[in-house]
Structure 1
Amino acid sequence: MKHISSKWVLALTSLGFFMSMMDSMIVTTASTAIRNDFGISVSQLQWALNAYNVTIAAVLLFGVSLGDKIGHRRMYNIGIFIFVVGSVICALSNNITILIVARIIEGAGASVITPMSMAILTSALRPEERGKGLGIWSGIGGFALIIGPALGGMIVAKLTWQWIFWINVPIGLVGIYLSQRKLPETSVKGAKLNVLDSVLIILASAGLIWALSESKSKNISASTIVIGVVSLILGIIFLIRQRKESAPMVPLNLFKSFPFGGGNAATFLLYASMYGVVFFLPQYFQIVNHSNALNAGLMMLPWTGTLVIVAPFAGKAVDQFGEKIVGIAGLAMQGIGYVWIALSSTPKTSYLTMILPLAIAGIGLSLAGPALQKGVVGAVEPRFISKASGIYNMFRLFGGAIGVTVSVIIFYAYGDAVSSSVFSLGFNAAMIGAGVISVLGVIPALGLQKA
């Protein structure tokens, strides 16, 4: 592949990843405006946010299997088109029901954008370039974490909340046009699409994540427990079928590889830790530091900003020192940063004391992300790359869902949202929990490849 083609591949695959990441972050600071406009409760509003992420996780592996069969570039462009259609419906929504349906459509498109972009990029780059390429890809996607909350607040302040969705339309259409012209087409010969397995994984994933989302409160309803148990049973049936299938959607034999299994387990813990902090940190800034949503987003910059600054260099470090050393260092640094914040934060503590540990945690995340990505996709044969990327992203999403749930359970064991001082106690406990989860990720990361 020519050098210029590699640049196009990196730019266009990163664009899709950026769009899908941006759309989950930009909504966070527009949520109050949406709630006021529709006159809905906070419990109703949460599904305008959760529907997107739940759909991504539920449809992910189905989209990967379909992409293997019809072509990764074609599936990538289909995903962007569906995402654009969902964005238009979101912008035109006049009630919460239509908005939730539109967010589900957006999530269905986004569910294939990330794994297809990862598969195209990994296939197009030489093995010695993958660490650097994935680092840049991760950094560009992580840039959405930086500007998403601030951009959402700015758009709502200057225009209306609908414009957070309208901006996806021209970007998506241009992305489809250029991807069709510049990206190589790849597929997996002999790939088959099993409808029953697809239905099982969609129902099991959606049900489990929904049950986890609903179990954040102290009182868990019987229906939530039933749906969770049924979804778990469906998941077990899915795994049993995968052991018997000649062309499984999830090749379980891949987990016999220590780098693959260890990389996915460490990914689960890395993002369980991170998403627990994402859930509470903006609330801490607003409740304890009395900041508005826009300022809370800006105060996260020492943490999120490292993703863009460090990730490209992290990719080079992975190529030079190996996934194992860089992954372990990143997981440890993230954990240390979160525990440091917990031990030093009180309602009277200055925000300035949080800048250094936030940066350390962000650097850790920026190091571990590319290392674990390369460890997972590099542990499989080329024909399994797209499936490996899909499995990796499933572990990332499930890790995030469970991480939020665990953090909320820890928070309510020690604190509550009744006052800034009581909230601070729960926040610090949740941060220690997030730190411990990240450090635990060091154990499975020991299975990664050395340099």
Structure 2
Amino acid sequence: MYAEERKEKSIITVFLGFLLGLVYFSNNSLIIAISSIQQDLGISTMNINWVVNSYNISIVSILVIAGRICDRLGSARALQYSLPIYVGGSLLILFAQETFVLVLGRFFQGWSLAFLYPCLARVVTGNFQGKELGKAIGLYNGIASIFMPLGFFIGGWICTYGTWRYIYIIDGGWGIILWFLTFFLLKKDSPKKHTKIHIPGFLLFSAGLVCFIAVIMEGKVWGWSSPLSLTLFGGALLFFFLFYLVNRKAKDPLLHFQLFRSPSTIAAFFVMFSVSTVYLISVIWSIYLQAHFFLSPLAAGTLLLLTVVPTVFFSPFIGSLIDRVHIGRLISLGLLLGAAGTGIILLGLNQNHIWILVLGFVVYGNYLIFCRTPTSILLYSSIEPARRGKIFAVYKLWSQIAVLTGFSFLAANMASVEVNLIEERFAEYQITDIPISEARQVTISKEALEKIEAEYPVGTVDLVKKIVQQAGVEGLESTMWVPIYIFLLTFLLFNLYCWKTKSTF
């Protein structure tokens, strides 16, 4: 009986690893495929922002109530309802011929995976207790982390020797298999039928989030002081204020602001929010390596793989290291490694030197181990077990908001610098009859290239391509300084807070 129970628990742990691995594979394969998608569909840099962030917007908005829906339905039933939505999103992306369909598919994928995190928490805490719980979490995270490098490598291989659409055949098939297995591997846990969903709070939060992100993403295009930008920003503030009032009066609020009381909780949230803002910088690296460094998707994927290899190999040892070294020191080391790794990558891009890039990606990968993992441990060790579920939901929500806001700003900043430089160079060469929006498509759209060749004098295409490529390089270089500043500022403020509160962690 005991042997059968252990076997059953081992199978559940492996299943959870493959479930979480789907998220890692999907995200990392998209990162490396984004340049191929951009060229195939002729998507602008700003619209790439929407392709990436539609996924994050849906996760953040649904995550507010996903835990409650899982409580009400039970984890098995919630997964059985949500995974088909993920498969549907993969099919939309597979057959997408325009940006809107691609964005919609990503939105459905994010919507589905928002239910994954609370379901994982319910399944693992429902099947494992005591020392078994820590081992189970470590094992399924270890299995899932294998798919981080596989996402980069397989995605790069597919885009080099096939078409990026094959990735979403794997994605959809993976989702179907996992959905099928939920009926056999997951027991129907007891749902909490009296759990309230709080629809008004959810709608207010989602409306505020969409208005805020729209301004962050499009503000430089519309103009920060334009009526549309000001209206949306004012709407975001109003919706968030109304959400705060509704949330405050609720008996069981969606967000528990009183959780932010202990110094360690505040420190953990601050560090995670700060570093999450630059989490998707790898999307911009992927585009640059392929569009301006002229690497194949496979070569670019192999380089980016170096950012996750340290996590796969060294994560099992971080726990024993934390027993010997203060968590605060490890977090500080991780922040410095993040700044140093980004700086080395920037140097490699400037010098056009592949081995400097290799070193930079490896150093950057170690930041993930020494910063993100200890930060999670710092958070969970500071609260009692009964409140960890609520903390996890808030923690995941704020980290996703940071990812969403950070990438929106980075992509918008890069696009803005690129447009300004193209305008300056066009004025310098007296190119006045080619729209900037059309010129920016020459490196990613064959149609735009053919149009300029047909309508403008010989030599114009080569000049425009040179201007656009150089603008893209300079736009990336200016954007790369942002994460360096964020890492260093976070390091300074974190240590200042530790000194001010006399916290040793």
- TM-score class, shorter-chain normalisation, is 0.7 to 0.9
Residue number in structure 2 paired with 1:12: 15
Larger mean CA deviation between 103-112 and 362-371 belongs to 362-371
Q: Distance in 1 between matches of 2:229 and 2:190?
A: 41
Larger mean CA deviation between 216-225 and 56-65 belongs to 216-225
Residue number in structure 2 paired with 1:65: 68
Provide Cα deviations, 1:190-222, integer angstroms capped at 9, x if missing partner: 532111112122222233233323346594454
1:80-229 alignment runs, 5 A limit: 80-121=83-124, 124-126=127-129, 133-183=136-186, 185=189, 191-215=195-219, 219-220=223-224, 222-229=227-234
Residue 73 to residue 321, structure 1, CA distance change in 2 (3 Å): farther
**SS state of the match for residue 260, structure 2?**
helix
Q: TM-score, normalised by structure 1?
A: 0.84
Residue number in structure 2 paired with 1:285: 289
Which amino acid in structure 1 is aligned with residue 367 of structure 2? Answer: G
1:272 to 247, 271, 277: 277
Q: TM-score, normalised by structure 2?
A: 0.76
Deviation for aligned residue 1:248: 0.8
1:268-417 alignment runs, 5 A limit: 268-275=273-280, 277-286=281-290, 289-318=293-322, 323-342=327-346, 344-345=347-348, 347-407=350-410
| Equivalent pair of 1:322/1:450 in contact (CA under 8 Å) | yes
Query: How much identity, in percent, do the aligned residues show?
Result: 18
1:49-64 alignment runs, 5 A limit: 49-64=52-67
1:426 to 451, 454, 478: 478
**SS state of the match for residue 167, structure 1?**
helix
Provide Cα deviations, 1:350-406, integer angstroms capped at 9, x if missing partner: 221233343222112123323223333444444544332221111211222233345
Q: Distance in 2 between matches of 1:189 and 1:448?
A: 45
Residue number in structure 2 paired with 1:439: 491
Residue 209 to residue 311, structure 1, CA distance change in 2 (3 Å): farther
Matched, 1:231 2:236: yes
Q: Distance in 1 between matches of 2:289 and 2:117?
A: 30
| Equivalent pair of 2:35/2:290 in contact (CA under 8 Å) | no
Alignment RMSD, CA only? 3.6
Provide Cα deviations, 1:13-55, integer angstroms capped at 9, x if missing partner: 2322221232233234434554555565554454333322221
Deviation for aligned residue 1:439: 2.4
Which amino acid in structure 2 is aligned with residue 232 of structure 1? Answer: L
Residue 290 to residue 54, structure 1, CA distance change in 2 (3 Å): same
| Unmatched segments (≥5 aa) in structure 2 | 422-467
Q: Distance in 2 between matches of 1:170 and 1:56?
A: 21
Residue 329 to residue 77, structure 1, CA distance change in 2 (3 Å): farther
Q: Distance in 2 between matches of 1:135 and 1:328?
A: 23
* Total equivalences in the alignment: 449
| Unmatched segments (≥5 aa) in structure 1 | none
Larger mean CA deviation between 201-210 and 420-429 belongs to 420-429
Provide Cα deviations, 1:236-290, integer angstroms capped at 9, x if missing partner: 2212222221111112221223333332221111212333x32432244345533
| Equivalent pair of 2:157/2:297 in contact (CA under 8 Å) | no
Provide Cα deviations, 1:109-157, integer angstroms capped at 9, x if missing partner: 0112134324533565446566665555555545444232432333244
Matched, 1:47 2:50: yes
